[in-house]
Every structure is written in structure tokens, then in C-alpha cells.
Amino acid sequence: MHEEIIHTENKPKEKQNYVMLDLGKSPEFGLPAFKQVVKRSLNGELFVGLWVTLREMAKTLFMGGKHTTKYPMEKLPISPRYRAIHNMLRLLESGHYRCIGCGLCEKICISNCIAMDTRYDENQRKEVSEYTINFGRCIYCGYCAEVCPELAIVHGGRYETASEQRASFSLFDDMLTPIDMLKQQQEFQGFGSVSPNADAAIKKTPLAY
Amino acid sequence: MDALVIGTIIKVVLVLLIVSALAGFGTYIERKVLAFMQRRLGPTHVGPFGLLQIAADGIKLFTKEDIIPQHANKFIFSLAPVITAATAFIALSAVPLFPTFVIPESLPLIGGAIVPSVIADVNIGILFVLGMMAAGLYGPLLAGMAQANKWGILGSARTAVQFLSYEVVTGLSVLAPIMLVGSLSLIDFNSAQAGGIGSWIIWQQPVAFVLFLIAGFAETNRTPFDLLEHEAEIISGYVTEYSGLRWGMFFIGEYSNMFTVSILAAVIFCGGYGDLGFIPGSLALLLKVVFFFFLMLWVRASWPHIRPDQLMWLCWKVLMPLAVVNIVITGIVVMI
């Protein structure tokens, strides 16, 4: 066993403990080889293996230690930073959609997948007449959500995107929060927000870089 | 005479049906046990606790398209799975499956008939069973050679090497108990150990028991000796080109062999169907067989494969000398 200090320019000095397995030289002939065979055969390592699997089986059966998530029935929570199918948010008071038709998202979109058209309504306010996102092209980079001045377009958590028609996702009304779900509308924390359990989820990385 | 023939036919049909069903159930148990040992769930969706998975698999196997490769020898290709399944079932005919019992008088037609514990009590029982299991070697061997596939050839070569080598160890390891009992009939083995746990042969022949178990694992193609169809090396070995029902017959044969080896280990070394305290004999035999079957699954979940050269090394340099020494010592003790 020897210790090694790794020096890097911009990383703190890390001390790493590499353990060298001292297996020695394996005897090949005669009595020493025979002794090694007997020693290795009779020291019961095989039973350690048996014990481990039996212990895991007992844990699984009686202590609820199963790792399986039954996916379509059970789902793991995803991070609020997850960038899946977009959501269009509404104003909480009036229920009107937040989009002001500025067109920034269309401009910044690097895969050119947002297409929008606007017009003036009877009150001379700008309203969105067409708004589609081509999810065949979208790379889910999140620039549209980042650039939006009104927090109107954000990324949602809808990652199950198998569908019979592309139109199931890509229209403005499909992405818009349903008016009866307005109370449950989650405020977007901002692009790059941390998940609520971020502190608990921090683990020491196995390798010190 | 007629009654004997009819009774034998009934027993044959019952054993065939029950063991085929058990072979299917064995796959379910194997998948469940392996899953639990790896902290998974195993089959859960088909039926309660996934129990009907066996039926689903069966339907799938039976309705699959039957493919025979273009350059394969069609006759031998279709014959090979039959050999495996048939020899596995024939071996079961000389193995005791339950204590001898009398059908109650109250039943019509067959009331009062004595049902012997074994289908055919041949006086060379052990030799017959081991011989049949050895003849099962021809299934994988012919299958691999008939299918015009290099993985199949490699698999059948490994089969021949492994089965022939471990045949020696199996034979030599049961030779010592045979010398103690003085008979080849499995019924005599059972009655020799009728005196409870203390009279089990395992206490007099622990080395032979371990050797027999190891050789049994090798002959039923179980981990750590499942080199015949080692996926990482030779795709699927001798079953590479097989699918559907033919593949299923290999599978049934393999699982029947596992049951046969479990029953043999229980009968030769662990008292067979003798009563065990308050546990009746039939249940005792069942428990022992279940334990040995579980042991095979347990070992599969725990231990890695070994290399073919290590397999040969283990057989010829360790197990066979041990078996011979065991026989010599047993012989000296028996003479004294």
C-alpha cells in the first residue's frame, strides 16, 4: 500500500489511497502448488458468496429492499431542471396566457423549430395566432425558456413523448396550462434552478479529479 | 400381470405429466429466486405472482415458427431434442418418487392396489439412471454437429468433453456408497438408511456426497459448469440454431435432469423417502429435492463460471483422485 499525492493546476491537492493487492508469486509445481490448492479450496470463500446472495434474498423478501421501479405504474420523480416538452404558462390572476408575442424564442431557437405568428386583436393588443414547436427538430436546449421575458414558455416534465400524432404535443393549446388546472400551475423557478432535494442528493464523487 | 402393466402405464403417464409441469414450474422458481437474490422482482404480471408466466412461455414456444437451418442435417437436427427429453424421462423411471403405499379400499376399481415407490425397480437402478443421463449426452452432441453452425460445433465439443469427464467422477463417487450398501437398487439404498437422520450415508461418505453434487452440477449443465451454452463465449452453444418447441424440449430435458440429480442425491445420501421424525416420508423426500433444487439456483446466483481448462483440471486432477482415494479408504474400512 502506498500513498500518492496528485498535483494539478486548478484543483485542490488530493490524497488518494491506492491499495495494491499483494498476491505474491503463485507456485506452479510441487508441494507449494498443492498446498495453495488445498488452502484456497478449504478456506470457505465459496460459502461467503453463498451467504451474500442469501442475505440479499432475505433483504429483498422481508425488508423491502427491491430495486425495481414498476415503470408505467410507478415513476421516479424528475428534477425541476429537467428539460422535456414545453409548457405555456398562464397569468395567475386573469388566466390569460402570458405570451406577449415578442418572438424572442423564435429568434433564439438554434434548431429553428419554433414557428409563431401574431396579430393585433380588437383591443390593439398583440395576440398569438399561431404557435407551434416542431419536436422532431427541437433539441431541448432550453434557450427559449431562458430568453422569455415573461416566463411564458418553460420546460415541463412530460418526458413520455410517444404519440400517434406529432400534433398531440406541438400546438400552443396543447402546451398551455388547462384553465381548470390554473390553481396547480407550478411557478418556474428560473432556468437552472436547483431541485428541492439538491442538498440531500449531493454525494461525494467516487473519484477525486 | 395385466394390473401391473396398467398400473405401470398410469404411473408413467402421471410422472411424465407431473415432471413436465414441474420442469416448467422450475423455470418460474428459478427466475423468481434469481430475481430476489439480485433484488429484482422476477415475473409478476402474468397471473397472480406471475405464476401464469409458465403458460405464457409455453404458448409462445409451441406457436413459434419451426426453423431448420438450410445446411443442417434435418433428420438429426430434429432427432436431437427428442433424445435429450426422452433420456431425461427414461432416467426417472428407475428413481423412487414416493414411499410405497396402498390405495384406500374405499376407492372404486383400483382400491387396495399396492403402488410400489418406483416405476421400474430394476436391480441395477443407479447404473441405469446414470447410464440414461450419460446417454443424454447424445442430445447436445448431435444437435451441435447437425446444425452447421460453428458455435454449435464448439458447444457440442464442450458437451462431449464435460459430460464424459464428469461421468467418471459421478460413477466413482457413488461407488463408495454402493460398497457400503451392497446393492445397486435405489430401493435398497432407501431401506439401508431407514433408521433416521443418524443412518444417512452422508455422514459416512461426506466426500462422496460433495463429489457427487459437483459432478451432478456438471452433468446437468448448471453454473459454475454451464460452459455448454455460455452466452458470452459461444452464443448459445448447441442450442444456437434451435427455437420454439425443439428448444423447449432441450429445456425440459435439462430441468428433468436437475430433478433426477436432486432425487438421486436425496435417495443415495440423505435417507430418501424414509420418515423424518414427524414428517412423513413423501414430504421428506419432497423437501430434500426442493432443497437440492434450490441449491442449484442459489449457486447459480452466487458463483461465477469457470473456464473449460479449469473444468478439466478440477475433474481429472482434483475430483477423480479424491474419489479414488475415497473408494480405497472405504474398501479398507469395509474389509476390516
A67 and B39 within 8 Å at the Cβ level: the answer is yes
pLDDT digits (tens, 9 = 90+) for B73-111: 889 988 899 998 899 888 888 888 877 777 777 777 666
Q: Give chain B's contact residues with A (Cβ, < 8 Å).
A: 33, 36-41, 44, 298-299, 301-303, 318
Chain B residues whose CB is inside 8 A of the A64 CB are: none
Put simply, the chain A residues between 41 and 80 with a CB less than 8 A from any chain B CB are 41, 46, 49-50, 52-54, 56-57, 59-61, 65-68, 70
Tell me what pLDDT residue A1 has: 42
Please list the alpha-helical segments (H only) found in chain B: 2-37, 53-63, 74-92, 125-135, 138-146, 150-181, 186-192, 201-204, 206-219, 231-234, 244-269, 281-302, 308-313, 320-335
A56 and B299 within 8 Å at the Cβ level: the answer is no
Chain A residues whose CB is inside 8 A of the B40 CB are: 60, 66-68
- Give the A:B interface size as CB pairs under 8 Å: 41
Spell out the per-residue pLDDT of chain B, length 336, in tens: 577 788 788 888 888 888 888 888 888 899 999 999 988 888 888 888 888 888 888 898 888 888 888 888 889 988 899 998 899 888 888 888 877 777 777 777 666 677 777 777 777 888 888 888 888 888 888 888 888 888 888 888 888 888 888 888 998 998 888 888 888 888 888 888 877 777 888 888 889 999 999 988 888 888 888 777 777 778 888 888 888 888 888 888 888 888 888 988 888 888 878 777 777 778 888 888 899 999 999 998 888 888 888 888 888 888 899 999 999 999 998 888
- Please tell me whether residue A144 adopts helix, strand or coil conformation: helix
Q: Residues B227, B162: contact at Cβ < 8 Å?
A: yes
Tell me what pLDDT residue A7 has: 47
d(CA B31, CA B39): 12
B37 and A54 within 8 Å at the Cβ level: the answer is yes
Chain B residues whose CB is inside 8 A of the A52 CB are: 302
User: Could you state, in order of their start, the residue ranges of all structural domains in chain A?
Assistant: 2-52, 85-184
d(CA B10, CA B111): 15
Is A11 in CB contact (< 8 Å) with chain B?
Answer: no
Task: Specify burial of residue A22 (Cβ count, 10 A radius: 0-12, 13-18, 19+).
Answer: exposed
User: Could you state, in order of their start, the residue ranges of all structural domains in chain B?
Assistant: 2-335
Cell 423478501 belongs to residue: A61
CATH tag, A85-184: 3.30.70.3270
Q: Which of B319, B116, B133, B287 is nearest to B214 (CA)?
A: B319
Tell me what pLDDT residue B324 has: 93
Q: Which long-range contacts (CB under 8 A, 24 or more apart) does A20-27 make?
A: none
CA angle B207, B209, B215 (to 5 degrees): 100
How many angstroms separate the first and last alpha carbons of chain B?
45
Chain B residues whose CB is inside 8 A of the A70 CB are: 41, 44
d(CA A155, CA A166): 18
Cα dihedral: A94, A96, A98, A101 (round 10): -140
Q: Residues B142, B80: contact at Cβ < 8 Å?
A: yes
Tell me what pLDDT residue A83 has: 84
Chain A residues whose CB is inside 8 A of the B33 CB are: 57
Low-confidence ranges of chain A (pLDDT < 70): 1-15, 166-168, 189-196, 205-209
The conformation of residue A192, written as its DSSP 8-state character, comes to: T
Chain B residue closest to A64 (CA)? B39
Tell me what pLDDT residue B314 has: 86
Tell me what pLDDT residue B279 has: 77
Exposure string (b/e) for B146-174, b if CB count within 10 Å is 16 or more?
bbebebbbbbbbbbbbbbebbbbbbbbbb
B40 and A61 within 8 Å at the Cβ level: the answer is no
Chain B residues whose CB is inside 8 A of the A41 CB are: 318
CA distances from A72 to A8, A67, A76, A83, B38 (A): 46, 15, 10, 20, 21
d(CA A166, CA B103): 70
Chain A residues whose CB is inside 8 A of the B319 CB are: none
The conformation of residue B239, written as its DSSP 8-state character, comes to: G
Cell 442450442 belongs to residue: B239
Question: What distance in Å separates residue A23's CA from the closest CA in chain B?
Answer: 20
Tell me what pLDDT residue A190 has: 60
Tell me what pLDDT residue B116 has: 74
- ipTM for the whole complex: 0.78
Cell 458447444 belongs to residue: B155
A49 and B41 within 8 Å at the Cβ level: the answer is no
Q: Give the pTM.
A: 0.78
B41 and A70 within 8 Å at the Cβ level: the answer is yes
